Amino acid sequence: MASLLFYLLAATALLATLLCITRRSPVHAVIFLINAFFALALMFYLLGAPLIAAWEVIVYAGAIMVLFLFVIMTLDLSPDSQRPALSRGQWAPVLLLFLLLLVSAGLILTFDPASQASVPLFYASPRSFGAALFDRYGLAVEIVSFQLLFAAVGAYYLGRRRKARQAEESS
């Protein structure tokens, strides 16, 4: 039952992602992406991580995608204002990336690391998840959050300076 549900969800996620990158209308693409996030969240729930599932929905589907939608709606991107299909020269890197992906997928499938390291099924309840995150990996969490803060401040700084320079040039 659970495995059937898992494959159903995996198929949904794959299909939704495929539809997302092939739609002409950006709003439709965002909707399919949200769909994919949903399938992913349900998969996390099936794998025994309800907290991750909830965050997937709240953060990705509920906040980031709303921002995407907001920007798309304010820009009013109609399907015809998008760029035409790839030119012939652009196909080479696409093929290269695809081959790379294929090879790495094949490597993973042949070595099958999941079968070697027998990880016990970990029920990621909020309590145990929080304990693991802030006890065992506390330092890592702090470093990552500081890096995110640096990135945010840096982005703000760069944007600010360019604006000031523009103001100088214009005056």
Q: How many positions of this chain bind other proteins (CB under 8 A)?
A: 22
Q: Which of 14, 70, 99, 102 is in the footprint of other proteins by CB under 8 A?
A: 70
Please tell me the distance from the alpha carbon of residue 21 to that of residue 24, in angstroms, as a whole number. 8
Q: Distance (Å, rounded) from C-alpha 17 to C-alpha 163?
A: 37
Sequence-ordered list of residues with C-beta below 8 angstroms from that of 124, at least 6 positions apart, any chain: 48, 49, 50, 51, 52
Question: Which one of residues 11, 18, 27, 75 is an interface residue with other proteins (CB under 8 A)?
Answer: 27
Q: How many residues does the chain have?
A: 171
Amino acid at 9: L
Residue 19 binding other proteins, by CB under 8 A = no
Q: How far is the CB of 151 from other proteins (least distance, A)?
A: 19
| Binding map of other proteins across residues 29-48, x = CB under 8 A, - = no contact | --x--x--------------
CA distances from 121 to 33, 47, 107, 114 (A): 28, 8, 24, 12
Pick between residue 63 and residue 100 the one whose CB is nearest to other proteins. 63
Site residues (CB under 8 A) for other proteins, limited to 87-126: 125-126
Closer to other proteins by Cβ: residue 103 or 133: 133
Measured CA to CA, the distance from residue 171 to residue 80 in angstroms comes to 37
User: Does the footprint of other proteins cover residue 138 (CB under 8 A)?
Assistant: no
Q: How far is the CB of 4 from other proteins (least distance, A)?
A: 21
d(CA 65, CA 82): 20
Contact residues: other proteins, CB under 8 A: 25, 27, 31, 34, 50-51, 53-55, 57-58, 61-63, 66-67, 69-70, 73-74, 125-126
